[in-house]
Structure 1
Amino acid sequence: MTSWSLRCRELAFPVDTERAFAALFGVGRWAFWLDSSLLGGSARYSVLGESAGPHEEVLTERVGEGGETIFDRLERRLADRRRVDVPDELPRELACGYVGYFGYELKAHDGAAGPHVSPLPDACWLAATRYVGVDHEERRTWVVELVADGEPAAWLEEAAAILTDLAAASESAGQVEEPGAARPGGSRPGVPSGGSGPEPEPWLDRPRDAYLRDVETCLARLRAGESYEICLTNTVEMPFTGTPLEVYRRLRRLNPAPYAAYLRLDGVHVLSASPERFLTVDREGYAESRPIKGTVPRSGDPGLDELARKELLTSTKTRAENLMIVDLVRNDLGRVCEPGSITVPAFLALESYATVHHLVSTVRGRLRAEVGPVGAARACFPPGSMTGAPKLRTMRILDELESRARGIYSGALGQFGLTGTADLSVVIRTAVIHEGRVTVGAGGAIVLDSDPVEEWDEMLVKAAVPLRALPPAPETAPETAPGNAPERTF
């Protein structure tokens, strides 16, 4: 049986992750960049790398094709890779196994098969064979390569040399800090530095009148007792011209986020500025979710911005939204956690980002001994903040109202580690680029006291976040709704 190990080398200097990604992984087919901005300690590590070389591996699934589910395949492959020798000097959070996403339509595995089919794979996970891990808190960096017994770590040596040269060039040019570092406070709240991007409204799958009718339908279903909360969404789709990586670099400057990410998946590009943690599992077996419910746009005027904060904190509607999703997440975690271990360490905590304020709660529990990170993710999927409650019935209502598959949007993105850890975000504030088109999903939670016009406005605010980084839109919008265009396949 082949034995495996992670070879690593710690660098004696901080790394500019933008330049490092471009230099090491700028042209590969299967590349990833889990890009923490370390906002308030919400996320600490960044990982940038690829699946390449002799041990390249890509796992995908399309719902309905049959066979082993992506959850089962990942569990099996991670069980095999737990025999990988991980050096003591490498932080366990940086012992990466697989990086990728679960798409929303995987809800079919939880009894919620729907009528919509995504043109992209419903899951795609890359074996992390070559990568750079960054601890932002300690300002430490490691170059890591997965090798089989007896193999030289040739790429590791080459990558370390390239990064050393980059650091020397930056120092000689007087560039001490990373120019694109995603740091809070770099621009005036509500007014990101540069770029407005295309307006979402002309490119929406369901225009204003249709969306308002859908909100009214949701309210009728709520009054009939069919659901308590319905997370209705819409989709922007438009032509794309430009370079996806350059757009992502712009996005991370305009909207720093703790769970930002860029994935390049053989022609599919995922550009995420997600502020929301779906699930993390630590080395002690504790699982944590941090659902967001409650969003208001920020203002460049300090007085108006403070007023927006206060209105969000005192809103009975947002409190109800958040409470119902917290109860849902507690129920999801309760399926896989030890009895009595689930707690809510934080409820309705306010978090502020470049363009919006959010209300965030934290739900935490200890996994049962027989449950691993993939099993925990499956039990909680799709994220409750993207469905509503009760989950199964509400997803069926959403399938009736929404006119297309959500795809990668509303799913989960991140990594599963080799040492029993996981860190996954909710795929929101995200653009997906494929075959000359870009899609952005956005929506909001409908509860009994929702106002349809306010829900429409909130959806536009959320859709605008990734759009700000895009080049200008064509001068004319489509004559028909984007959702009626032919589907493109992966």
Structure 2
Amino acid sequence: MIHPGHTCNPVEPVVVSVEHMETREGQAFVSMLVQVLNSVCTARTHTDWDADRDLPHAPGECPDVVLITGRGTSGHCMLRVLPGPQDSRFGAPTEISVLDLSHPEAPLHAADALAQLPALAAVRGFGQLSAPPSLSRVSLEAYPDPEAVFHEFYGLSSHRVWLDSSNSATDPVAGRNRYSIMADDSGTRGMRAQHANGVTTVESKLVVTRISGPFFSWLERNWYSNPAPDPDLPSGLEFALGWLGYLGYELKRECGGNAVESPLPDASLIRCSRAVVFDHEARCVFLLAEAGAEGRRWCSDAALRIGRLPSAARRLSSGLPVVQFSGADSGQSYLRKIAACQDEIVQGNSYEVCLTTQIFDDLHESLDPWDFYRRLRRASPAPFASFVQLGTVAIASSSPERFLSITADGQVRAEPIKGTRRRDASPESDRQLKHELRTSTKDRAENIMIVDLMRNDLSRHAQPGTVSVTRLCDVETYTTAHQLVSTIEAKIARDRSRAAVVAAAYPPGSMTGAPKISSMDILDRLESRPRGPYSGVVGYFSPTGAADLAVTIRSAVFSTHSTDGQRLSVGIGGAITADSDPDDELAEIHTKATAILRVFGAPFPISAHAGRVRARATVPP
């Protein structure tokens, strides 16, 4: 165990536990680890164990490193490298741990163990995150089937992400989803990060770091490198590797909302050191990797593998297991909650409340989320679709909604959705539904309220005079629904943090209502359950300062627990205003579940014929 004192940028105790230090590999690992700690710690205190007090060192002084025996090991063999006599009173909790060297994934030789040290040096607990190396980009003329590529490269990975522009050919906004991105956490600098119970746990191969504190504080330190890399990327692509994954709705506790416990992580991300990127406009593929020998080897191997893949999509295998959804609310209970929202609006506690519910099934037969997503992306393509599998949690999404995009030079764009109509098989009826949505006073009012909320959120960190609405209440058409969409843009002020911009707008206003804080309080009381990844976001944070995040809607969430098996849940909801018709709102959540229900061939479990609830309050004149 290695304890580099009480202040190590930042002032958090850092403890490293190494099992089997009596082995040759363990001794070599720890000796090199001492050198790493001495090189990355700029200031710390020296602990006088006998006096039970700390003696401060001057900033910049090369720090001593205290070595403490590993748990359950013969650590006496390390005495020769200790700075002085040691005590046995060492009970500090482990915040950084290195796996037992007898672990199946542990290195067999000291050289392999030492190869993990660059990753350890990059861990935030030991100081500033080191700037990533420059990028290598290899362009390929091939344009294979994306599903085949994802399966070939990431089919066996337990932590993988595909940000999938699955409707690139039919997107109503030209160029918006030109690129699709695939990655996992492989490679020397690959990492995993998960936030739960106020602690961010970062895994880098054999190194595990636990950092207490808010997630957005961790994100601020680990997202944007300074100086940022200057990658040679195609026009319109802001992704230059970085962190990919999801943020859950319950992170609202850091953004003014109440703390609600969730059984799933509040955030889960991977840091990728290489990725496959599809350019759907140029119909080609290119490979991104961190510069260096490892990156060159990966690009060379990846190019050969892609060249062997088919260009046409493969036929789907046999059908999915039978799913029998249940509703978290009955039709009657959902209608009562709509009435309660309207009561809150009449009392002046909100203008608009984005009420949600869930349909779910505790699966008796295992269901592969990847098999489901392949069907979903074909049945319901979307500009911000995604497949995210991070350990025991998987998200299969056909989201049409962008939360925020941020460019490297600080341009921010939000594209909230509010207002929905179902599609109809009759072209004439479908056109009528689209016209009805476009001209609906009620739907336009819902949308404009969220636009105003987003304008306010962005203005908190924007340069004065740069916040503008560039598109208001436009209709976008997708496979199962027409949507009312607006666009808000701004320029981030130079002295403002990128993570602060995301936190100021979080959770997405289209999933809370307005005013945001009061509406979230109302929703906590009425919904009485965590939303989990639903209503949060999926996307990436790149070291250039760029990000692109989609709202997690029209999504199926799969979670696996060792005791309870696999649960499938689908969140659905809609905005409630004083003018909302309860039956229409109930029909709307059915529309929003349609794409996923069709893939399973399952009925909607919440009765649309529950009968009107007349407890609805009357808006005073």
Structure 1 residues 397-406 or 3-12, which shifts more? 3-12
Structure 1 residues 125-134 or 464-473, which shifts more? 464-473
Give CA-to-partner distance per residue, 1:397-447, whole Å, 9 cap, x none.
000000210010001110112222111001100101112210100000000
Q: Which residue of 2 aligns with 1:344?
A: 469
Q: Distance in 2 between matches of 1:439 and 1:313?
A: 31
Q: How does 1:209-228 map to 2 (within 5 A)?
A: 209-228=332-351
Structure 2 residue 212 is the aligned partner of structure 1 residue 67: yes
CA, structure 1 residues 199+20, in 2 after alignment: closer, same or farther (shift >3 Å)? closer
Please report how far the alpha carbon of residue 391 of structure 1 lies from its aligned counterpart in structure 2 after TM superposition. 0.3
Please report how far the alpha carbon of residue 135 of structure 1 lies from its aligned counterpart in structure 2 after TM superposition. 1.7
Please report how far the alpha carbon of residue 113 of structure 1 lies from its aligned counterpart in structure 2 after TM superposition. 1.7
Say which structure, 1 or 2, has more relative contact order (CA 8 Å, 6+ apart). 1
Give CA-to-partner distance per residue, 1:277-326, whole Å, 9 cap, x none.
00001233110100000001000111110111111111111011011111
Q: Aligned to 2:257, what secondary structure does the other structure show?
A: coil
Structure 1 residues 11-20 or 72-81, which shifts more? 72-81
Q: Which residue of 1 aligns with 2:150?
A: 21
The residue type paired with residue 222 of structure 2 is R
Please report how far the alpha carbon of residue 145 of structure 1 lies from its aligned counterpart in structure 2 after TM superposition. 2.1
The residue type paired with residue 160 of structure 1 is A
C-alpha RMSD of matched pairs (Å): 2.6
Structure 1 residues 149-158 or 20-29, which shifts more? 149-158
Q: Distance in 2 between matches of 1:270 and 1:81?
A: 32
Q: Aligned to 2:600, what secondary structure does the other structure show?
A: coil
Please report how far the alpha carbon of residue 340 of structure 1 lies from its aligned counterpart in structure 2 after TM superposition. 1.2
Q: Which residue of 2 aligns with 1:439?
A: 569
Q: Which residue of 1 aligns with 2:488?
A: 363
Q: TM-score, normalised by structure 2?
A: 0.69
Please report how far the alpha carbon of residue 15 of structure 1 lies from its aligned counterpart in structure 2 after TM superposition. 2.8
Structure 2 residue 221 is the aligned partner of structure 1 residue 76: yes
Structure 2 residue 252 is the aligned partner of structure 1 residue 107: yes
Q: Which residue of 2 aligns with 1:311?
A: 436
* Pick aligned residue for 1:46 from 176, 180, 187: 180
| Contact 1:82–1:418 (8 Å) recurs in 2 | no
Q: Distance in 2 between matches of 1:220 and 1:204?
A: 24
| Contact 1:208–1:456 (8 Å) recurs in 2 | yes
| Contact 1:35–1:258 (8 Å) recurs in 2 | yes
CA, structure 1 residues 317+153, in 2 after alignment: closer, same or farther (shift >3 Å)? same
Q: Distance in 2 between matches of 1:426 and 1:238?
A: 23
Please report how far the alpha carbon of residue 474 of structure 1 lies from its aligned counterpart in structure 2 after TM superposition. 13
CA, structure 1 residues 329+353, in 2 after alignment: closer, same or farther (shift >3 Å)? same
Q: Distance in 2 between matches of 1:410 and 1:75?
A: 22
Q: Which residue of 2 aligns with 1:483?
A: none
Structure 1 residues 210-219 or 87-96, which shifts more? 87-96
Asked which structure has the greater CA Rg, the reply is 2
Q: Distance in 2 between matches of 1:90 and 1:345?
A: 22
Q: How does 1:274-293 map to 2 (within 5 A)?
A: 274-293=399-418
CA, structure 1 residues 109+270, in 2 after alignment: closer, same or farther (shift >3 Å)? same
Please report how far the alpha carbon of residue 197 of structure 1 lies from its aligned counterpart in structure 2 after TM superposition. 10
Give CA-to-partner distance per residue, 1:242-280, whole Å, 9 cap, x none.
221111010000101000000110121110100000000
Q: Distance in 1 between matches of 2:290 and 2:475?
A: 40
| Contact 1:81–1:97 (8 Å) recurs in 2 | no
| Contact 1:61–1:121 (8 Å) recurs in 2 | yes
Q: Aligned to 1:363, what secondary structure does the other structure show?
A: strand
Q: Which residue of 1 aligns with 2:585?
A: 455
Q: Aligned to 1:58, what secondary structure does the other structure show?
A: strand
Q: Distance in 1 between matches of 2:438 and 2:234?
A: 43
Give CA-to-partner distance per residue, 1:18-63, whole Å, 9 cap, x none.
1000001011011000001221323221001111132221111124
* Pick aligned residue for 2:278 from 114, 120, 134: 134
CA, structure 1 residues 106+245, in 2 after alignment: closer, same or farther (shift >3 Å)? same
CA, structure 1 residues 43+82, in 2 after alignment: closer, same or farther (shift >3 Å)? farther
| Contact 1:373–1:416 (8 Å) recurs in 2 | no
Q: Distance in 2 between matches of 1:101 and 1:95?
A: 18
| Contact 1:287–1:367 (8 Å) recurs in 2 | yes
Please report how far the alpha carbon of residue 82 of structure 1 lies from its aligned counterpart in structure 2 after TM superposition. 5.2
Q: Which runs of 5+ in 1 are unaligned?
A: 181-193, 476-490
CA, structure 1 residues 229+55, in 2 after alignment: closer, same or farther (shift >3 Å)? same
Quote the sequence identity (%). Answer: 39
Q: Aligned to 1:468, what secondary structure does the other structure show?
A: helix
| Contact 2:353–2:512 (8 Å) recurs in 1 | yes
CA, structure 1 residues 456+195, in 2 after alignment: closer, same or farther (shift >3 Å)? farther
Structure 2 residue 264 is the aligned partner of structure 1 residue 120: yes
CA, structure 1 residues 279+195, in 2 after alignment: closer, same or farther (shift >3 Å)? farther
Give CA-to-partner distance per residue, 1:460-487, whole Å, 9 cap, x none.
2112322322365899xxxxxxxxxxxx
Q: Aligned to 1:94, what secondary structure does the other structure show?
A: coil
Q: Which residue of 1 aligns with 2:296?
A: 153
| Contact 2:536–2:551 (8 Å) recurs in 1 | yes
Give CA-to-partner distance per residue, 1:97-129, whole Å, 9 cap, x none.
111111101010112124x32111000111022
| Contact 2:351–2:577 (8 Å) recurs in 1 | yes
Q: How many residues are treated as equivalent by the alignment?
A: 452
Q: Aligned to 1:418, what secondary structure does the other structure show?
A: coil
CA, structure 1 residues 328+83, in 2 after alignment: closer, same or farther (shift >3 Å)? closer
Q: Which runs of 5+ in 2 are unaligned?
A: 1-129, 200-210, 561-565, 606-621
CA, structure 1 residues 406+328, in 2 after alignment: closer, same or farther (shift >3 Å)? same
Please report how far the alpha carbon of residue 79 of structure 1 lies from its aligned counterpart in structure 2 after TM superposition. 3.3
| Contact 1:279–1:424 (8 Å) recurs in 2 | yes
| Contact 2:131–2:226 (8 Å) recurs in 1 | no
Please report how far the alpha carbon of residue 3 of structure 1 lies from its aligned counterpart in structure 2 after TM superposition. 6.2
Please report how far the alpha carbon of residue 71 of structure 1 lies from its aligned counterpart in structure 2 after TM superposition. 1.8
The residue type paired with residue 298 of structure 2 is W
Please report how far the alpha carbon of residue 179 of structure 1 lies from its aligned counterpart in structure 2 after TM superposition. 6.0
Q: Distance in 1 between matches of 2:484 and 2:320?
A: 25
Q: Distance in 2 between matches of 1:286 and 1:74?
A: 19
Give CA-to-partner distance per residue, 1:138-178, whole Å, 9 cap, x none.
2232112235x5545322222111101115xx4xxxx4xx5
Q: How does 1:198-277 map to 2 (within 5 A)?
A: 203-240=326-363, 241-277=366-402
Q: How does 1:27-38 map to 2 (within 5 A)?
A: 27-36=156-165, 37-38=167-168
